[in-house]
């Protein structure tokens, strides 16, 4: 139960940070989703740093790592987990699997959005 509370607290922090970045008065004229892009890149940096420091500091608290990785980064963006997993596949030499994961995630993710819109139009 303690782990759930740790993740929930971190998730709340990540979600609020995402919300606040969404309120920043920045944008581009060409429609590029700069705020989401920044959130994803910042999340990737944070999760990468947390994992690197945890590996370097073997005494790092597993609960602190979970708080950062699953809680904060999970609440902030799941893209950071996606990037970390893809990096892990590449480091293991699983290049084809990494490429498939990236392409399928992007293509099927966008397709799922369109499928949901289509379904919502038909049902509602």
Domain enclosing residue 13, as ranges: 2-78
- Tell me how many domains the chain contains: 1
Is 77 marked as binding a ligand?
A: yes
Alpha carbon separation from 98 to 51, 72, 89, 91, 107 (Å, rounded): 19, 25, 6, 10, 14
Indicate whether 22 belongs to any domain: yes
Q: Which of 87, 86, 49 is nearest to 68 (CA)?
A: 49
Q: Is residue 124 very low, low, confident or very high in pLDDT (cuts 50, 70, 90)?
A: low
Indicate whether 84 belongs to any domain: no
Indicate whether 17 belongs to any domain: yes
Summarize pLDDT for 34-58 with one digit per residue, the tens.
888 899 899 999 988 888 888 887 7
Q: Is residue 121 very low, low, confident or very high in pLDDT (cuts 50, 70, 90)?
A: confident
Describe the chain by its helix, strand, coil percentages, rounded to 5.
80, 0, 20
Is 36 marked as binding a ligand?
A: no
Indicate whether 29 belongs to any domain: yes
């Amino acid at each position: 139960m303690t782990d759930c509370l740790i993740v929930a607290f971190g998730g709340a922090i990540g979600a609020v940070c995402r919300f606040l970045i969404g309120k920043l008065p920045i944008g581009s004229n060409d429609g590029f989703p700069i705020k989401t892009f920044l959130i994803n890149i910042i999340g990737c940096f944070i999760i990468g740093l947390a994992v690197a420091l945890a590996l370097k500091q073997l005494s790092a608290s597993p609960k602190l790592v979970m708080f950062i990785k699953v809680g904060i980064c999970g609440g902030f963006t799941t893209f950071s987990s996606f990037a970390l997993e893809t990096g892990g596949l590449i480091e293991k030499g699983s290049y084809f699997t990494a490429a498939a994961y990236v392409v399928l995630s992007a293509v099927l993710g966008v397709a799922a959005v369109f499928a949901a819109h289509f379904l919502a139009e038909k049902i509602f």
